[in-house]
Structure 1
Amino acid sequence: MSVFSWYHASIKQKIGGLFVFLLAFMFCVIVFSAYKVNQIEREMRVVAFLDIPLSQLMQQVEFIELEQHLQFEQFQLKKQMGDKPLNPHQQFTFEKQQIKKLLDKAVALISHSLASKEVVLQAEAHQKVANKIENYAKKSNEFENYLSNIYAREQLTELERQRVEEMATELEHAQRKIILQLNKLTADDAYYTDEHEKDFLFVSTLLGLCAIILGLLLTSYIIQIILRRIQRIQSNIETLSTSFEHHELPLELQNGIKTKDELAALEHDIKIVISRLNQEMTSREEIEKQLIILATQDRLTGVFNRHKWEEQIENQINMASRSEYQFALIILDIDHFKQVNDQFGHQIGDRLLKHLATQLQQQIRTEDMIFRIGGEEFAIISPTQDKQQAHQLAEQLRVYINELDEVSLPKVTASFGVTCYQTDDSSSVIFNRADKALYEAKAQGRNCIVVA
């Protein structure tokens, strides 16, 4: 993931990426720690299983050589005192076998460790120790053979005694050198191990600090990005909220939120905007309803206007042309309405039209629709009605208007033109047919019905 894609990534991706990075870093630290621990373990194994056992073996060899030397001194002393000479040949043979086993064991231990590559520190120095032990074994064997020959004879010359002393001193010096060298190897191995432990502790601490610093930096970076985004969102929300300030907020949102949590503050701001948006939508819905009423209803009478008439007559024509759907059209006109205006005034005329429209709405069915299409002219669309049913409805309305007696309003009558949908009718054709029927009713003396 590049820096640019990281910047535009989601919060989940950023936090997940940080988590994966820290896990990978910790995994590297764990792998390095395991490697160093394994290295220290191998070095300590060399000390525990090679250097220390070698030192112990050489000390045992030294003790056995010391016993041989003491026995030789006792042998000399008893010879000088004239006692019966002792025969320690078997004792020397046994000690010789012990020394040989110990030296062979020491050489085998070093050889095996070198061959199996278990010696990870100072391999050449260990090989030199093995060579010295082999040389020491040869000299020790020569010394033991020489002692065996001496013990086999009863007499010991001064030259032989000096030779034994020299050989014993040589072996003793060789032993001490080997033991000192082994002690030095052990001390060096322990020093290297201690240094590795210090390096391991230093590097682990450094890696841990780096992980903490990187984690803090990345966390701070992500937090800053999130905060900047939240501040931008809050700024946009405040801008949007100011456009709806004319709406009052609910009581629970009027008091500001007291918190340092940016997300809680953002949530509060969003609730404010949502509340104002809901109020705005409710207000707009009410305005839309009012606009629809203004666009479809006649302002004076409250019935549908001519715009709604044109829309509904087209819908009825479309439904009837696609199926066997049937509807009827009734057009009525108030007789001598101009005389009402002239005699009683336009205000009374308007009240009369409004009262008649209200009464007509109450007399027709719920599915029927009444429209004001002219000054005193009304149209009624009656779905699923044939000519006979439409004629009955028109007669019912004519009688009702004729018998209507309202205080402060003049009595009037109405003429009716009735028709039904016919195949291939258009809105203008069916309207003209009903309109002609209306004029025929007017010609026949008014207050009557003509069906076309």
Structure 2
Amino acid sequence: MSKIINNHNSRFRWTILRKIGGLSSILILIVWGIIIYSIIALKHIRDDLQEIAKLDVPLTDVYNKIESNQLELQIAMNELLWLNKNINNLSTKKNIEIKQKLKSTKGHIDKQINQGTGLLLSHREDHPEFKAKFQKINSALITVQKESHTLHSIILEITNAIDANNYPEADIIEEMIAKNAKFDSEVINLVKAVKEFTSRRLEVVEKHEHTFLMINIFLGIIALLLSIFLSLIINGNIQNNIFRLSQKMSEVRKAITEKNLFIPASNRTFSSDEIGDLELEIYKTIKIFSKEIHQRERLSHYLKKIATTDQLTGAFNRFKWEEMLRFEILRVDRNKYSLSVLVFDIDFFKKVNDTYGHDVGDFVLIEVVKIVKQQIRVTDSIYRLGGEEFAILAPYTSSEDALTLAERIRKSIESHIFEYVTQVTISIGVTQFKVTDNPKQFLKRADLALYKSKERGRNQVNILFDS
């Protein structure tokens, strides 16, 4: 027992507080993991957004301004066509305005293209996909610039012809319209290239957000499952300990109720938490209590034995006789079965004591009881009523069966060779209980039958049916 206690105290104490604290620590670590990952993911998203602000927004502003200048160029060209159709209303002032607008528009377009080219040169992309998109935008800018110069040259030629009051050739007008359409197409291609490039950043951000969401969900599910798993382990451990305590207390209650000896197993391993401490204390208490029960049961059995047993012969004493006689008579009244009694004395026992001494007399008494116990049934019982007088209580036995039993006992004693004494005989009186009897009448009739056996010469059996 001391070994169990020492082992219990020396090992790590995984207390309930530590179990709950451990669970909380794991959950806190998972939460911190989610927070740290969120911070890192948000930093990546912020970096991408800053990259958009540095390059994608200026590029978008460039192609918006190019579109605006394209629109102004379209307006100027339409005004020029209108002038060309109304040759009689040619206005030098109006033509000058168109020239100035063409010059201004061309300058703005060149400026925006140069700005876009500068932005592309200032940002280096190593990723193959992004590098290809960079090249596509750069090519589109160069083409727009080229088409812008070509269209500007044609329009400037037309305006110069108008200044000289010369009607422009039809093929020049058609070339201007074709070049304008070509210029519009290249601007549209530039817009598409810029949009395609800027959209890749949004795709990266969306990818980050999706990954961020999935990992957070994954970590959340892990935290939930882990918390449930650890909670089940802790709760299961506590419930198992409590169940063992309840089971142990039930066994103790049952042992007390049934007055059985209860000693718990000594090779038990206790948990290191507070419930384990309580279980250990209960185990020690039960151990002590079990020993107390054992000692009390032994003492009670001993006291009961000396209170109901004749110390010399081992037969029941007169106190037990009176108790069992009343009990068997009550059972006869309830169940209506036969009950017989045999009363016997050792013949000339006083002579044995006087001739051989009391030690030999005691030996004879012990031997007689031993022989009688060998002849009677399990349901029968022998009592020493006093001195050399004995009685046998025979339940479920009729007078005829009792007479047979008595004769068998008498012959067994008569034929037995006693040490120190050559021969010992007994006289027996037999009677059967009647429904009109009381205990006193029943025993008196047995005594009268015994007296009759003595009166007729001893060493015989007599039965009496009526008092």
TM-score under structure 2 normalisation?
Answer: 0.48
